[in-house]
Amino acid sequence: MSTITGKAQQAAEMAESLIGSEIIKLAGEINEKIKNGERIYNFTIGDFNPKIFPIPTELKAAIVDAYTNDETNYPAADGVLELRKAVSNLIEQRQGLKYDASEVLIAGGARPVIYAIYRTVLNPGEKVLFPVPSWNNNHYTHLTTGAYSNQIFIETTPENNFMPTAEELQPHLSEVGLVALCSPLNPTGTVFSKEGLLAICDAILQENKRRGTHQKPLYLMYDQIYWALTFGETKHYDPVSLRPEMRPYTIFVDGISKSLAATGVRVGWAMGPKPIVDKMKSILSHVGAWAPKAEQVATANYLSNLDQYDGFIDHIRAEVSTRLTKIHAGFQQLRAKGYAVNSIAPQAAIYLTIQLALHGKKTTDGKVLNTTKDVTRYILDEAKMAVVPFYAFGASDDSSWYRLSVGTCKVEEIDALMNNLERALSKLS
């Protein structure tokens, strides 16, 4: 019998060897502290506190109405037609992307969409190329191909705002069946520049030209779930708008989870080449990963009024930007005082990229912060601040960079947080 980690195999090798979420492990420690009465500033969760960031009132009312009207049976396998039409109209009116309703697939959030993309375009043993830090591409590779070894990842740099470049990706394109990209990026809240994304598109197009018509194409999964949440002068770019020739090779991931603070409503979608979208539909129909019909009907109703949608987007952008900007300013003030911290100016999403370059520092009781885990625990214990290290998103274990998520943040608590952090930093030598 096959064995894994020295014990008799209880489940399939894929399940036995699946690595648990580092974020969930950290959440367990945080929840224990909260249960013991500690006041923790929890910036770990890529989610919204609905008491701070409620979904649009019109969407909530539409969901209630849909249940009242008994919209409780199975939806169509590819999603309620009215919603697919509404999505088609939204992305055309607000992004300039033209996808027919037949090229749109609705699912229970973005996660089933991502799973279906991997399942649809990858053959057994085929590899996936993605940058790190990035969210869960390593686990989707393992879930769908059976092995973490079927991944090729590029560790990105702060000098490029942790976004990958064509030069970094190009040497590996001939080895893979899928390139997985995200912009705005979870965990960094940074975006592709126009020039950077154009260069990547051109590299993928060149690779597909090399493959010709007798070899399966190289596909691009483009996760743009945060595209509506950009700040200031930041602009969101997508592959198909920049290079229309990318259309046959690009599958988009999108939905309302982030833009409408509706993570628990579970309405996501894909847009892409109809033959691929149709196969994704077949996979998800067997899995049963539909968005609930009432929520689909309600979302279609809500998206039918884009002025109403725009008003909410303006509101949530302002709220998120205020928090990110204030915390970024606080980190820059600490940096100016000589503390070994840093942050990247917020561009998009609900995340701030921060640096806690505290490796080698000594605590007041003489303990040395040798590892990133030591630093993370110290900041949690002393500053009562919980953030997620980039190694949880595939970066090196010794990376000093972190994701800070503001979806549960109250503006009035930020000054107290920064005071806590300064006190904790001042104790180190």
| Residue 27: per-residue pLDDT | 77
Residue at 4 is within a domain:
no
370-397 residue pLDDT tens: 999 999 999 999 999 999 999 999 999 9
| Residue 2: per-residue pLDDT | 45
Residue at 220 is within a domain:
yes
How far apart CA 183 and CA 194 sit, in angstroms, is 12
Residues 301 and 326 in one domain: no
Q: What is the mean pLDDT of the chain?
A: 95
Segment 293-316 shows an average pLDDT of: 98
Residues 45 and 71 in one domain: no
Residues 96 and 187 in one domain: yes
Using CA atoms, how far residue 104 sits from 100, 117, 131, 181, 217, in Å, is: 7, 13, 26, 19, 21
Does 35 have pLDDT greater than 70? yes
Q: Give the domain range for residue 66.
A: 57-305
Let me know: does 82 contact 62? Beta carbons within 8 Å: no
Looking at residue 235, the DSSP 8-state letter turns out to be -
Percent over 90 (pLDDT), the chain: 88
Segment 140-162 shows an average pLDDT of: 93
* Per-residue tokens: 207: 């690779």
Domain stops at, among 269, 284, 305: 305
Q: Position of tokens 């259309």?
A: 247
| Residue 22: per-residue pLDDT | 74
Percent over 70 (pLDDT), the chain: 98
Residues 46 and 65 in one domain: no
Does 33 have pLDDT greater than 90? no
Segment 26-38 shows an average pLDDT of: 83
238-252 residue pLDDT tens: 999 999 999 999 999
Look up the CATH number of the domain holding residue 105. 3.40.640.10
Residues 371 and 280 in one domain: no
Nearest partner of 346 among 415, 426, 403, judged by Cα: 403
Residues 69 and 211 in one domain: yes
Does 1 have pLDDT greater than 50? no
| Residue 6: per-residue pLDDT | 58
The pTM score is 0.95
Look up the CATH number of the domain holding residue 377. 3.90.1150.10
Does 3 have pLDDT greater than 50? no
| Residue 384: per-residue pLDDT | 95
Residues 160 and 262 in one domain: yes
Does 179 have pLDDT greater than 60? yes
Let me know: does 130 contact 114? Beta carbons within 8 Å: no
Does 23 have pLDDT greater than 70? yes
Segment 304-328 shows an average pLDDT of: 98
Pairing of strands 127-132, 176-182: parallel
Q: Which residue has the higher pLDDT, 36 or 296?
A: 296
Let me know if 193 is exposed, middle or buried by CB neighbors in 10 A (0-12, 13-18, 19+): middle
pLDDT confidence band for 411 (50 / 70 / 90): very high
| Residue 15: per-residue pLDDT | 87
Segment 175-203 shows an average pLDDT of: 98
Residue at 18 is within a domain:
yes
Q: CA dihedral defined by 161, 159, 397, 320, rounded to 10 degrees?
A: -30
Count: domains in the chain = 2
Residues 301 and 388 in one domain: no
203-239 residue pLDDT tens: 999 999 999 998 999 999 999 999 999 999 999 999 9
How far apart CA 214 and CA 28 sit, in angstroms, is 50
pLDDT confidence band for 4 (50 / 70 / 90): low
Q: Position of tokens 């000589």?
A: 338
Does 5 have pLDDT greater than 80? no
| Residue 8: per-residue pLDDT | 65
Q: Position of tokens 């396998």?
A: 77
Residues 117 and 221 in one domain: yes
